[in-house]
Chain A
Amino acid sequence: MSTLAEPLPAAPAARRPPTDWKDPAMLARVRRRYRSERIFRSVGLAALVFAVGFLGLLLVTMLQNGLGGFRQTQVKIEAVLDPTLLELGSDRSEEALESANYVAVYTRAIRDSLGSDATRVASASGWLALRERVMADPALLGQTVEIWVPVRSPIDQYAKGRIDPDIPPELSPIAPDQRAAYLRLKEEGLIRTGFNRTFLVTSDSKAPETAGIWGALVGSLMTIAVTLALAFPVGVLSAVYLEEFAPRNRWTDLIEVSINNLAAVPSIIFGLLGLAVFLNTMGLPRSAPLVGGLTLALMTLPVIVVAARAAIKAVPPSIRDAALGIGASRLQTVFEHVVPLALPGILTGTIIGVGRALGETAPLLMIGMKAFIVDAPRRITDPATALPVQIFLWSEDVDRGFVEKTSAAILVLLMVLLLINAVAIYLRNKYERKW
């Protein structure tokens, strides 16, 4: 008899007939198994088709409405850049050039080179193109230049065939004489519809034909940069600390629950918090990407913490043993072994958080990033707006030109998101290859 342990209980000597694998009931079970698998597959496929279909629908609608925003009808004018008319004096400094009276030159150029009926064809803000030209090359002063300027929004819509030519004149957004002038200019070869560079390089404007996305794009990128610069390091460090260093007790449990809850708090509340803390208490500048970024960082932080913790948890413990076992310190173990292995997961989580932040509107409205701003911000403390806010602002305008711009801006936002995701996938693959 063994001294080591109690003997095992004898296995029950059950006498059962051998299993009949060809039994009809057994075959029926097999058939049922195949059937449920088939059903599951078709349901899954249907779900996928449904999801992809919706995405496709969104994209097609946006492309249909928005592609026109990347094209603009223009009219060619001949402008005499007379310094006297520009009220320039002898000063040729940048400020002087910027504040010169281009409107006068522009108005005269339209009248003289196109005829007085053309004033209602060419855009009222077309002088901006003149200014841009002169600022780029002051040597043009005193000369006569040919320049393409945008036409007014309704004419643009008409030129793109978006206005039904048969609707009664009293309902049409263009007056009969306006249309006649347009048709005359077109006849003379002074009209063209081409790529709308203005949309990509200028900022908001009251007139849709000169409104651009650049300012909002820069505002968004600055905001996101601030968000990332704050939320990524703080989020990753918190996650590392919580996972690898913090003791497990009631306090850390409480913190964990709070963070998970924070990730689900509606964004408008973060906006209110940003308003109260950053603007009212700390007195940071209103409408600035700095404050927008800080506010969105608060919102993104919990997302990054949760994702980073999951990624760190997924690193096999044997790697920690291996590093500790040859005398790596805890810090070395964490930052030279665990974090690099968790990085793909951390990056994925960060991108999800940043993508969400990029599309966030409500908190930015709360901190005043909805002002009408005609210049792209140069510093993160300049007043700015952001892509989703710009989309929101334009979408409230009934002008057909802005409807088109809204969709075009959405396309730009989608492109930025796509780009960010592409970068994330690239980074993830790069780090995963090292495994």
Chain B
Amino acid sequence: MSTDTLARIASKQEAVDAPPLMTARDVHVYYGKKHALKGVSIDITRENVTAFIGPSGCGKSTFLRCFNRMNDTVDGARVTGRIELEGEDIYAPEMDVVQLRARVGMVFQKPNPFPKSIYENIAYGPRIHGLAASPQDMDEIVTTSLMRAGLWEEVKDRLQDSGTALSGGQQQRLCIARAIAVDPEVILMDEPCSALDPIATAKVEELIDELRGRYAIVIVTHNMQQAARVSQKTAFFHLGDLVEYDDTSVIFTNPKESRTRDYITGRYG
């Protein structure tokens, strides 16, 4: 992959100046004694898709999981620092985790649909949060979520089939549809395309582009081209540090840090 192509794609990305929806300040994460994330600060906006890049094990997933407190479920994990959603401290005792996770949705690296029908996969979230006023309303939520995730045409005739019977790419879009069905404010995606073929990947990327502006999207990716294609802001992590965070066009054309440049140009190692 030529660096020029990357730069050419990235330079088309224009970051918009906008107020942050989520802010992270001096976030540290420890797994037992292991210091996995070392004082990271970042702003996330609705208008710009944010990409997290960096070598394996540098703490991207760890950081991502701080935004919806999924690290709470990990035994021995400890998070310090401050993360705010619309000015509210999400680690404050009065913050309700269940509601937080509805407002900050997540799509995992490995597609993980429930072993239930396609319909039930989407309807589950809205049901537990009481978002549908009537069965018709629920039908509409399911339909629009599937449409927005670009899956409707493929599954509209078999909504009662099991979600696990879909192909990997379809499953991943089902998971995205499931996440947007609860109408979150932020969607966190952890390598959503790592198990997908190029066509399915393209669909997901298109989808991210369409969802931008409505939801704040953060995507972790190992694919530099993907970061350049879908994001307007890019954060580069290395060994638990946030090395550089800037507009995607800057990171891919004129990074300030030599470590960033080495990683992007593939001179890592």
A residues sitting closer than 8 Å to B (CB atoms) are 2-5, 7-8, 248, 316, 318-329, 332, 336-337, 341, 434-435
Contact = CB atoms under 8 A, between A and B. Distances in A.
A122 to B, nearest CB: 65
Interface stretch (B6-14, B18-26, B67-75, B151-159): B67-75
Interface string B109-129: 010111110000000110011
A434 B162 CA distance: 8
Interface residues of B, number: 38
B182 A326 contact: yes
B166 to A, nearest CB: 14
A325 B68 contact: yes
A151 B3 CA distance: 102
25 contacts: A3-B259, A4-B55, A4-B268, A5-B55, A5-B268, A318-B108, A318-B112, A321-B108, A321-B112, A322-B114, A324-B70, A325-B101, A325-B105, A325-B106, A325-B108, A326-B101, A326-B128, A326-B179, A326-B182, A327-B128, A329-B128, A332-B128, A434-B116, A435-B115, A435-B162
Contacts of A2: 262, 267-269
Give the most central of B68, B115, B182: most A CB within 10 Å: B115
B195 to A, nearest CB: 12
A323 to B, nearest CB: 7
A332 B262 CA distance: 46
Contacts of B108: 318, 321-322, 325
B114 A4 contact: no
B99 interface: yes
B98 A4 contact: no
B262 A4 contact: yes
B264 to A, nearest CB: 11
Contacts of B30: none
Given A5-B55, A316-B112, 9 more contacts: A2-B268, A3-B259, A4-B262, A319-B112, A323-B124, A326-B124, A326-B179, A327-B101, A435-B164
B75 A327 contact: no
Given A320-B73, A324-B73, A327-B128, A3 B262 contact: yes
Interface in B73-121: 73, 75, 98-102, 105-106, 108, 110, 112-116
Contact of A322 (B75, B113, B181, B259): B113
Contacts of A5: 55, 268-269
Contacts of A336: 124
A4 B267 CA distance: 8
Contacts of B238: 4
A327 B104 CA distance: 9
